[in-house]
Amino acid sequence: MNEMVNEYMDSYKQDLNKILNKLDDEFAMIRVGRANPKLVDRIMIEYYGSRVPLSQAANISVPEARMLLVSPWDASLIKGIKSAIDEANLGVSCSDDGQKIRIVFPQLTEERRVQYSKDARKTLENYKITMRNARRDILDIFKDMKKDAEISEDEYNTLDKSVQKFLDETTTKADQLCEKKVAEIMEV
């Protein structure tokens, strides 16, 4: 097969791997009753006139299983960070001692665990749709190549199977990530 086809296939594989990595990051954001610094990754704060992620203005550590400790590099940011955390509506309680902020994660109820599990599965489904769209896009390119006689019918069929095989492998990995996350969520 020609070099252009290989480039398209490499691009397709990279796209699916990026989608899988984004899904993994998305799952890391879902609360499971334990503190995880990724849970506050999306919180933006005012830092010297610009909005930056919390992680770029403070050190975030996990001193206990259900607590994050935020140590800003500039103590004057404490109030701004605390209000940004409150506005993020994470369902946590915050306290500060003027130097550091403690974020305490309450124990999850069974109802919340079930809801978070449903959210994880819904997120998985959305990412699977994105993966199938990537498959459709590359197959459209290959159909056009076949129509323009750049590749033969047999080459197209081989590419179709190869694209589907990689999609199936990636979907299986995504399913495994989801099941692992759901098990983590449901763990008491």
**Which one, of 68, 34, 29, 30, lies nearest residue 187 by Cα?**
34
Work out the angle at residue 74's Cα, subtended by the Cα atoms of residues 68 and 80, and round it to the nearest 5 degrees. 65
How many angstroms separate the CA atoms of 27 and 184, rounded? 11
Check residue 52 and give its pLDDT: 87
Q: Could you say which DSSP state residue 65 is in?
A: T
pLDDT at 88: 81
Domains identified in the chain and CATH numbers: 3-29+109-186 (1.10.132.20), 37-104 (3.30.1360.40)
pTM, entire model = 0.75
48-98 pLDDT tens trace: 788 888 888 888 888 888 888 999 988 888 888 888 888 887 778 888 888
Do residues 104 and 34 touch, judged by C-beta distance below 8 A?
A: no
Longest Cα–Cα distance in the chain = 71
> What pLDDT does residue 113 have?
87
Q: Which of 41-50, 113-122, 162-171 has the lowest mean pLDDT?
A: 41-50
Whole-number percent of the chain with pLDDT over 70: 98
pLDDT per position as a tens digit, 16-62: 999 999 999 888 877 676 777 888 878 888 877 888 888 888 888 88
pLDDT mean across residues, the chain: 89
Q: Read off the pLDDT band of 1 (50, 70, 90).
A: low
Name 106's Cβ contacts closer than 8 Å, sequence gap at least 6: 66, 91, 92, 93
- Are the C-beta atoms of residues 102 and 94 closer than 8 Å to each other? yes
